[in-house]
Amino acid sequence: FTHLHFGVVRIGLTLHARKGLPVVARIALVDSRLKSYQQACIGTVQATLNAGTVFVTLLPNFNVSLKDPTLLNALKVQLQLVGAPMQEKSIVATLHHQIVYRVQDHALDLALPSSDDAQYLEVTSATQAPNSSQIPRQISREELLQRLPESWVTSYEKLHQATQTTLQSSDATFHSRQDGTTEIKFEK
């Protein structure tokens, strides 16, 4: 076998709080091998979690060589929850995922019936009905920023810019920040 075909990714999100809270989730599936966020974004969903678990099914439909060193990190999920802040150490939600893939001895993609547009799904809390709209697969940066937090796009692209330079050091210091993140500093 030479390639892995990503066929379907199913993502579920369960809020760990009582039903009826006005919590909105934004979920994006990205192919992290690409440097531009516009090209890396496979699909996005915005939904309310006040009625329970939300599921979305996305069809990446692409192959990756089994020898690709980025294979294990190719697909990533970005998540933003807004609406009902919880205590800092609380586990707010659980992200469920299923990936349907196929190991194959060729690099041919499966032909799927599709259009040149992508589906954008938004669920509003007022009606609880999904609002589905077709948008071009490649939208402008401005249109992308209207649908997703700007920090996702800029942070994603800065991450790929930063990885272009190689730094070698064996002296590392770890600093815990108050927001719960850890900063690693290397001496040159």
Name the CATH architecture for the domain at 3-105+140-149. Sandwich (2.60)
Backbone angles phi, psi at 161, to 5 degrees: -70, -40
Read off the tokens for 141.
């940066």
Q: What pLDDT score was predicted for residue 38?
A: 82
Parallel, antiparallel, or unpaired for β 117-123 and 41-48? parallel
For residue 29, which phi and psi values (nearest 5 degrees)?
A: -105, 125
Asked if 37 and 95 touch (Cβ cutoff 8 Å), the reply is: no
Q: In degrees rounded to 5, what are phi and psi of residue 146?
A: -75, -30
pLDDT of residue 12: 93
Count the residues in the chain.
188
22-73 pLDDT per residue, tens: 888 888 899 999 988 888 888 888 888 888 888 888 888 899 999 999 999 9
What pLDDT is attached to residue 140?
Answer: 72
How many other CB atoms are found less than 10 A from the CB of residue 53? 12
Give 23's Cβ-side CA count (13 Å radius): 25
**Residue 85 CB coordination number (10 Å):** 10
| Domain ranges across the chain | 3-105+140-149
* Residues of the chain where predicted confidence (pLDDT) is lower than 50: 164
Instruction: Give the pLDDT of residue 127.
Output: 54
pLDDT value of position 119: 52
What pLDDT, on a 0 to 100 scale, did the predictor assign at position 10? Answer: 93
Q: How far apart are CA 125 and CA 164, in angstroms?
A: 42
pLDDT value of position 108: 78
Q: What is the pLDDT of residue 16?
A: 92
